[in-house]
Structure 1
Amino acid sequence: MNHLVIPLKDGRKLGYVEYGDPSGIPVMFFHGTPGSRLLFPDDDPISAHMGVRLISLDRPGFGLSDPKPGRTLLDWTDDVIQAADNLGLEKFSVIGVSGGGAYAAACGYLLPNRLHSATMVSSIAPFLNGKPPEEMMRRNRIAFYMSKKWPGVLKSIYRAQKKLMMQRPEAFLRQLQKDGQRMNKWDRQFLQTDEQLRTAMMHLNEAMRVSVDECATEPALIARPWGFSGGDIQCPVYIWHGEIDTMAPASEIKHFADSIPDCKTHFIPEAGHFLFDDENLWKAILGTMLQQVQR
Structure 2
Amino acid sequence: MQENIMTLSDGRKLGFSVYGDKKGIPLFLFHGTPGSRIWFLEDDYIAQRLGVLLIATDRPGYGLSDKKVNRKILEYSSDIEELADYLELDKFSVLGVSGGGAYASAVSHCLTHKVKLCILVSTATPFVDGKPSKAMSKENRLAFFLTNYFPWLLKLVNKTQKRLIDKNPEKYKATLKKGGSHLSEWDNEILLDEEVLENGVVHSKEAYRQGVNEVIYESKLLARDWEFKLEEIKTPIKIWHGENDTLSPVSEVKTMEQRLLNVETHYIEHGGHFLTEKDDVWESIITNKPQILENTLIPLL
The reply to whether TM is greater than 0.5 is yes
Q: Give CA deviations for 1:76-101 in whole Å, capped at 9, x if unaligned.
A: 10111011011100000000000000
Q: Could you tell me whether the CA contact under 8 Å between 2:12 and 2:66 is conserved in 1? A: yes
SS at match of 1:189: helix
Task: Quote how far apart the aligned CAs of 1:193 are.
Answer: 2.9
- Tell me, in whole angstroms, the C-alpha distance in 1 between the residues paired with 2:135 and 2:229: 22
Q: Which moved more, 1:150-159 or 1:7-16?
A: 150-159
2: distance between equivalents of 1:233 and 1:219? 23
The offset of 1:24, in angstroms, is: 0.2
Q: d(CA) in 2 for partners of 1:231 and 1:183?
A: 31
Residue 8 and residue 256 in structure 1: after superposition, are their counterparts in 2 closer, same or farther (change >3 A)? Answer: same
Residue 180 of structure 1 and its aligned partner are, at CA, apart by: 4.7
8 Å contact from structure 2 (residues 138, 182) kept in 1: no
Residues 26 and 300 in structure 2, CA contact (< 8 A), matched pair in contact too: no
The answer to whether 1:251 aligns with 2:251 is yes
1:29-178 matches, within 5 Å, as 29-178=29-178
% of aligned pairs identical? 42
* Offset, 1:181: 6.4
Cα shift at 1:196: 2.1
Secondary structure in 2 matching 1:173: helix
Aligned to 1:25: 25
For 2:182 and 2:249, the matched residues in 1 are separated by: 17
Runs of 4+ in 1 over 4 A off after TM superposition: none
In 2: Cα distance, 1:251 partner to 1:200 partner: 27
Task: Report the AA paired with residue 292 of structure 1.
Answer: P
Aligned match of 2:234: 234
1:51 maps to amino acid? G
**Pair 1:293 & 2:300 matched:** yes
Contiguous gaps of at least 5 residues in structure 1: none
Answer yes or no: is the 8 Å Cα contact 2:182–2:246 preserved in 1.
Answer: no
Counterpart contact for 1:180–1:191, Cα < 8 Å? no
Which residue of the partner structure matches residue 10 of structure 2? 10
Q: Look up the SS of the partner of 2:56 in the other structure.
A: strand
Following superposition, the deviation at residue 182 of structure 1 comes to 5.1
CA distance in 1, matches of 2:266, 2:193: 28
Q: CA deviation at 1:166?
A: 2.0
For residues 200 and 181 of structure 1, do their structure 2 counterparts lie closer, same or farther at Cα, with a shift above 3 Å needed? farther
**Structure 2 counterpart of 1:216, one-letter code:** I
Moved more, 1-10 or 174-183: 174-183
1:225 shift after superposition = 0.7
Q: Tell me if structure 1 keeps the 8 A contact 2:26–2:54.
A: yes
Distance in 2 between the 1:241 and 1:190 partners?
Answer: 16
Contact kept? 2:27, 2:300, Cα under 8 Å: no
State the alpha-carbon separation in 2 of the partners of residues 15 and 263 from structure 1. 30
What is the alpha-carbon distance in structure 1 between the residues aligned to residue 118 and residue 182 of structure 2?
A: 32
CA distance in 2, matches of 1:201, 1:180: 18
CA RMSD of aligned residues (A): 1.4
Q: Using a 3 Å threshold, how does the CA distance of structure 1 residues 146 and 181 change in structure 2: closer, same or farther?
A: closer
Question: Which residue of the partner structure matches residue 179 of structure 2?
Answer: 179
Aligned mates of 1:69, 1:85 — CA distance in 2: 24
- Counterpart residue identity of residue 137, structure 1: S
State the shift of 1:172 in Å: 1.7
Residues 40-75 of structure 1: per-residue CA shift (max 9 Å, x gap):
000000000000000000000011001111001101
Structure 1 residue 152: Cα displacement: 2.2
- Contact kept? 1:122, 1:273, Cα under 8 Å: yes
Question: In 1, Cα distance between the equivalents of 2:259 and 2:164?
Answer: 43
For 2:260, the equivalent position in structure 1 comes to 260
Whether the 8 Å CA contact 1:230–1:257 is kept in 2: the answer is: no
| TM-score, length of structure 1 as denominator length | 0.96
Distance 1:283 1:179 in 2: 25
Quick one: distance in 2 between partners of 1:268 and 1:81? 32
In structure 2, the gaps of 5 or more residues are 290-296
